[in-house]
């Protein structure tokens, strides 16, 4: 077993590789009164059995329904009630075993329980490994607006084991791959080159350990410069102004989008026009064009008006500038939105 982290973000160690080599040794150094594992229906079935024998025999689990639609106050109330029944004190540990919903919501519940208890992130999706689990953002959706309630609270540790990716459907891998591409576009020409080199290799067959390491390095560099999103960290929201609105809109339809599918659309729409065709060529290799009805445009705009990057009622988009790790904040008007969405829908597949 080893205890040397692969990355260190402030005081949070980030371990990559087999959990058997890291998790038990880390826990041995701690003195928690009890350990609670938060799972959803999927990770309870596919991931919990992989870590169960690495934890104390007295560990307890809390399982919630899977899906973004459950990332709300009602589910938080149920989690808090379970923590109350299990008598979680301030020296308890909450392990978030799952994707972005589990990590965001579990972190929020832990950060607010008795004014804060330790939690660790064990991300099980590509999306959460490369993005959601890293950076200390916790939160939930409210009134259809993504992540509008939450706090900044860093986990006690993050454990990234790429073998969990074997449990994912290819669509879920694609969803996470959008964030990998985003990190390449905002901060890593090396990572972007590796993505282009992958050619037509099916996503399940890529060298995820190498791609994850490069992607995580981008996320950690940005967060270290701007922990609470005062400036540079907004760059991580590239594609999210339009993307989050699309994700929320389609959530209640018969054809919901994954987070990555929505963010891919957002990146194509939000990047300045002189770079749009190039970015679209990269993204459309993995994300087919999605029809967006014109009747949705007013609702999408109203959702964008609630975006956290906005200032004085102005919708703002964070996009990469010319050099890696440089931010350009663009303003978006309601009149521009139909043109952007129309141009996106007229792109041909790469």
Taking the CA atoms of residue 309, residue 315, residue 320 and residue 321 in that order, the dihedral angle to the nearest 10 degrees is: -120
The whole-angstrom separation of Cα 255 and Cα 234 is: 29
List 29, 57, 74, 115, catalytic entry: 115
183 is catalytic: no
259 is catalytic: yes
70 is catalytic: no
30 is catalytic: no
List 70, 71, 219, 276, catalytic entry: 219
115 is catalytic: yes
List 229, 247, 261, 270, catalytic entry: 229
The whole-angstrom separation of Cα 132 and Cα 155 is: 12
List 70, 174, 259, 276, catalytic entry: 259
List 96, 182, 237, 261, catalytic entry: 237
List 146, 182, 183, 233, catalytic entry: 233
91 is catalytic: no
240 is catalytic: yes
244 is catalytic: yes
List 71, 240, 276, 316, catalytic entry: 240
List 68, 70, 172, 179, catalytic entry: 179
List 182, 194, 244, 276, catalytic entry: 244
List 70, 71, 137, 146, catalytic entry: 137
338, two tokens: 């139909």
Tell how strand 327-332 and strand 315-320 pair up.
antiparallel
261 is catalytic: no
Active site residues: 115, 137, 179, 219, 229, 233, 237, 240, 244, 259
């Amino acid at each position: 077993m080893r205890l040397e982290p692969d990355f260190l973000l402030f005081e949070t160690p980030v371990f990559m590789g087999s959990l058997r080599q890291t998790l038990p040794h880390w826990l041995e150094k701690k003195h928690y009164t009890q350990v609670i594992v938060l799972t959803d229906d999927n990770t309870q079935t596919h991931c919990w059995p992989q870590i169960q024998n690495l934890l104390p025999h007295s560990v307890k689990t809390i399982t919630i329904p899977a899906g973004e639609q459950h990332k709300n106050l009602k589910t938080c109330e149920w989690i808090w009630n379970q923590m109350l029944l299990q008598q979680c004190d301030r020296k308890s540990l909450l392990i978030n075993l799952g994707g972005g919903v589990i990590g965001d919501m579990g972190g929020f519940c832990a950060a607010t329980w008795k004014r804060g208890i330790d939690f660790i992130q064990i991300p099980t999706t590509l999306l959460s490994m490369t993005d959601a689990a890293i950076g200390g953002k916790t939160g939930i959706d409210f009134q259809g607006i993504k992540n509008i309630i939450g706090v900044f609270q860093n986990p006690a540790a993050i454990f990234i084991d790429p073998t969990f990716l074997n449990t994912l459907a290819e669509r879920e891998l694609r969803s996470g791959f959008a964030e990998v591409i985003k990190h390449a576009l905002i901060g890593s020409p090396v990572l972007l080159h590796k993505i282009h080199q992958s050619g037509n290799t099916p996503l399940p067959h890529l060298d995820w350990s190498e791609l994850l390491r490069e992607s995580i390095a981008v996320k950690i560099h940005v967060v270290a410069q701007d922990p609470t999103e005062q400036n540079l960290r907004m760059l991580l929201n590239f594609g999210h102004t339009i993307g989050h609105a699309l994700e929320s809109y389609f959530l209640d339809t018969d054809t919901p989008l994954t987070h990555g599918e929505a963010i891919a659309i957002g990146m194509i729409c939000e990047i300045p026009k002189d770079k749009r065709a190039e970015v679209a060529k990269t993204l459309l290799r993995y994300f087919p064009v999605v029809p967006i009805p014109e009747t949705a445009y007013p609702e999408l705009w109203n959702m964008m008006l609630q975006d956290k990057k906005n200032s004085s009622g102005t919708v703002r988009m964070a996009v990469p500038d010319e050099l890696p790790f440089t931010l350009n904040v663009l303003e978006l008007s309601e009149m521009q939105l139909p043109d952007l969405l129309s141009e996106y829908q007229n792109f041909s597949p790469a």
